[in-house]
Amino acid sequence: MAQNWDEKAVFLAALGLAAKDRDAFLLGACPDEPARQRIRLLLDHHEKNATTGFNPEADSAPIGLADPNQIDEFRLIHKIGEGGMGVVYLAEDTILARRVALKIIGSHLLGSEQGVARFRDEARAAALLNHPAIVPVFKYGSDGTRHYIASEFVDGPTLSTVLEEERSRRQGMTRTDALSWFKRCVEIAATIADALDASHRMNIIHRDVKPSNILVDRHRGPRLTDFGVAKNLTVSPERPVTNIVGSCHYMSPEQASISAASVDQRSDIFSLGVVLYEMLTLQKPFVGADLSQVLRAVIEHNPPTVRSLDPRIPRDLQVICHKAIEKHPRDRYQSIAHLAADLRCFMAGDPILARPPDLTQRILRWLKRHKKAVVLICIAVLAFATLWMRHRLKLQHDLAMAWVSISAGSAPCKAYFQPHSLTTLEPLSDYTAIGPTPVQNLKLKAGQYRILVVRDSDRAFCEFNLVALEAGPDHLAFIRAFDSANEIKSPAERNELRGAFRHTRDIAQGEMIRIEGGDFELRTSNSQHPVLLGAVRLDSFLIDVTEVSNRDYRAFVDATGHPPPYSWTAFGYSPELEDRPVVWVSLADAEAYARWRGKRLPTLWEWQAAARGPKGDLYPTGAQLPDVPAQTLNQNLFGDQLAIFQSYAEHTMSTGVPSAWDGVSGRLRHTFSNVCEFTGTVDLANRDVYLTGRGWYEDPRTRTLANVLTTPLKQPTPRFGFRCAKSILKN
């Protein structure tokens, strides 16, 4: 760090800080404690001079000199300025009889080799240059104790003073006056650009272009001075300039950065652009409460456009100004000569070469300048996109699902569901817990399910065969379990399934039979599925001994207001047929009755197991069909509804009367003599329901218990009836 340490740069930076902030700054900026002590002495000396005013003996000469107002051939007249490294006097060259500006190194730097070397480098840099707009150096010397630089005396104020005067008279300025001022600004900037071009051609970077280093000669125009922190690139080209050097409001981003950013001639272009900005708007483009905030503004922030501060500024002049103060050197003018050329094109009314950055460039530059913000924005956008996508996928998923809500009686209850296989039509697994009721908006894949609602207090339960075909919340299925059938006093609403709790111990003796669970060989067939299934494993269950009669179904209709079967409205309710199996009902009608009774419809395999036994007999009487006469069917049974009803009345028998076909003891009645029966098993692909058993209208020689039929889900039929089943809960 000692090799690259720049004493003057550190002093100037510390000078811009509040006194309370200086020690912390010097701790990191100086290589060692002696260096920090020298900077503190410089600061003390500067503040002392600001308080006491001009005193040649105190400011520039050691005590005891014979004539403190004379240095070699130069006689000091009066003090005209002061900087961090020394004091400037108006002096008279007694040999050549001319007035000069004599800059004398401060006595506080006489003990610093680096300070003296920097002072000498300033003289050498200026002496190498020969341009009308650069204040020339006449001599560098020392009278043995005091080092000095003699340069041309410029009779005129600094540009800083000119700007202060302009600020005081800016209010109320006419458009003509403003345009005249803008023209003068361009002339000053173009002249200083020419001076810097001459400097750059000699490989010297000024590094401290600012209004106070531009003198406005009353006779010769603006002049560039003070090469105190200039850098001669030919002296040490192998080492890039990496110190913070210059005045903070005017330094380039690469100067302001503490990273090892190389500084070249384009840094002076930026500083002159800042000076032009301040001349046009009378405002500094980069400001802050302290040094660190100013440097951060220089590095990270873009100032307002000059036309946003004063719309009278010509557009081309805005383009030139902002081209010069681009953050990255590659985006600025690549030489000060190009800047000077554009300024003169503007003055001549010719087209300028610079163009404002297009939208893509502005976006890319903004992204580079705000990398952290961009990263945070990208993370936020990615997170939002992820959440949005998840929301969309969830929404699409939910819209493709069947929606179910479950409510139960007043006592605490728990709900469960059990899916059925779409291929084997069997229950796939044991019940899966849903949770306590009520359950809102349960989402299930399309399919067939059994919903089980169990009352905690007595283990009474209600079962629902749910055919979930319609997706989305518009087709929400409402499942309601009532404490008893007496509470169901009105027909169910659309998409509503109502059922009553019932315990298996409440089943009347002889009403149902228990089928023990186990393995059953139940191959079945129909025209669409020649072999539906082979071996089946079933849990134990209860099933009605006989079909549901008209008498049973009428009690349901009277209690709930459910619509009666078509035959009752078309042909009247006949008391003579009260004990015959109810027909002309749909699957939904049969399920509604079963739930009202605290039951459900049996699955295809439960019905088959109960009717055929473990070995899968084909007939109620066993494996073989006994000798029976052929049955001739009335062909009108499949077209004439009255004929069908009359045939039903003639050939069916009371559900309570045993049939010659009942066969094996302990099995179901009327599985092969009265009606085909609905099961709770559905062919989802075709939206059909499976039926099994033999009806009165079929020839027994062409039917077996293994034959199954299908009919549309919602279509009532005059030839089909049903019986109910009920599960046996596991402990």
Give the C-alpha separation, 714 to 49, whole Å. Answer: 106
d(CA 498, CA 489): 11
Residue 720 lies in a domain: yes
> Looking up tokens 């002296």, which residue turns up?
235
Q: Are residues 729 and 653 in the same domain?
A: yes
Kindly state whether residue 35 falls inside one of the protein's structural domains: no
User: Of 706, 714, 720, nearest to 682 (Cα)?
Assistant: 714
* Domain match, 498 and 409 both: yes
Token pair 């179901």 is found at 668
The answer as to whether 150 is a domain residue is no
248 belongs to a structural domain: yes
Residue 32 falls within a domain, yes or no? no
Nearest-angstrom CA–CA distance, 508 and 173:
109
Q: Which residues are CB-neighbours of 664 under 8 A, at least 6 positions away?
A: 613, 617, 620, 621, 622
Pairing of strands 496-500, 74-82: unpaired
Name, in order, each residue with C-beta under 8 angstroms of 159's C-beta and a sequence gap of 6 or more.
Answer: 188, 211, 212, 214, 215, 216, 222, 275, 279
Q: Which residues pair with 407 in a beta bridge?
A: 480
How far out from the chain centre does Cα 541 lie? 54
**Residue (of 83, 114, 102, 95) closest to 146 by Cα position:** 102
Q: Is 434 left (phi over 0), alpha (psi -120 to 50) or beta?
A: alpha
Neighbours of 251 (CB within 10 A): 29
* Residue 230 one-letter amino acid: A
CATH code: domain of residue 431: 2.60.40
Last residue of a domain, one of 297, 331, 356: 356
| Residue 301 resides in a domain | yes
Q: Sign of torsion, CA 717 591 685 727?
A: negative
Burial degree of 308 (CB within 10 A; 0-12, 13-18, 19+): exposed
- At residue 633, the pLDDT reads 52
Residue pair 207/268 in contact by the 8 Å Cβ criterion: yes
CA dihedral 569, 571, 576, 577 (to 10 degrees): -70
Cα(62)–Cα(76) distance, rounded to whole angstroms? 15
Whether residue 618 sits in one domain with residue 539: yes
* pLDDT tens column, 301-337: 899 999 999 999 999 999 999 999 999 999 999 999 9
- Least Cα distance to 466 among 386, 402, 527, 524 occurs for 402
- Domain for residue 618, yes or no? yes
Amino acid 240: pLDDT = 42
Query: What pairs with residue 88 in β-bridges?
Result: 81, 103
Domain that includes residue 463, residue range: 400-504
Q: What is the pLDDT of residue 455?
A: 94
What three-state secondary structure class fits 255? Answer: helix
Specify the pLDDT at position 48. Answer: 61
Chosen domain end from 475, 504, 533:
504
What is the reported pLDDT for 699?
83
Below-50 pLDDT ranges, the chain: 1-3, 50-66, 237-243, 260, 530-531, 634-635
Is 564 in a helix, a strand, or coil?
Answer: coil
Residue 479 CB-density burial (10 A; 0-12 exposed, 13-18 middle, 19+ buried): buried
CA proximity to 39, closest of 57, 19, 54, 55: 19
**312: CB partners within 8 A, 6+ apart:** 175, 178, 179, 182
* 516 lies in the same domain as 487: no
Angle, CA of 667, 668 and 671, to the nearest 5°: 125
Return d(Cα 191, Cα 169) in angstroms, integer: 24
- Return d(Cα 201, Cα 205) in angstroms, integer: 10
Q: What is the dihedral of CA 37, 43, 44, 47, to 10 degrees?
A: 180
Burial 590-610 (b: 16+ CB within 10 A, else e): bbbbbbbbbbbbbbbbbbbbb
Task: Tell me: do 553 and 670 sit in the same domain.
Answer: yes
Contact 638, 659 (CB under 8 A): no
Strands 720-721 and 676-683: parallel
Number of domains in the chain: 3
CATH of the domain at 698: 3.90.1580.10
Q: Where among 488, 504, 520 does a domain terminate? A: 504
CA-nearest of 615, 632, 610, 650 to 701 is 632
Same domain? For 569 and 717 the reply is: yes
**Are residue 666 and residue 596 in the same domain, yes or no?**
yes
Considering the domain architecture, whether residues 307 and 330 belong to the same structural domain is answered as: yes
Instruction: Give CA–CA dist 223/198, Å, rounded.
Output: 13
- Same domain (yes/no): 348, 212: yes
DSSP-derived 3-state class of residue 82: strand
Query: Are 295 and 304 a contacting pair, CB within 8 Å?
Result: no
Predicted local distance difference test score (pLDDT) of residue 280: 95
Residue 272 belongs to some domain of the structure: yes
Residue appearing with tokens 């094996």: 664
Reading the block at residue 678, the tokens are: 């609905």
CATH number, domain of 243, equals: 1.10.510.10
- Same domain, yes or no, for 427 and 438? yes
Peptide bond into 712 cis (omega under 30): no
Task: Give me 269's structure tokens.
Answer: 């272009």
Rg (CA), the chain: 52
Same domain, 678 and 693: yes
Would you say 91 and 100 are in contact if contact means Cβ atoms under 8 Å apart?
A: yes
Q: Which two tokens stand for residue 314?
A: 């010509």
How distant, in Å, are the alpha carbons of 355, 407, 555, 675, 721 from that of 548?
Answer: 92, 28, 11, 11, 7
What's at 644, amino acid-wise? I
One domain, residues 288 and 351? yes
Q: How far apart are CA 249 and CA 266, in angstroms?
A: 16
- Residues sharing a CB contact under 8 Å with residue 60, sequence separation 6 or more, in sequence order: 68, 71, 86, 87, 104, 105, 106, 107, 146
Q: In what order do the strands lie in the sheet with 725-727?
A: 512-515, 541-544, 725-727
From residue 531, give the alpha-carbon distance in Å to each of 522, 527, 535, 707.
Answer: 10, 10, 11, 10
Give the three-class secondary structure for 512: strand
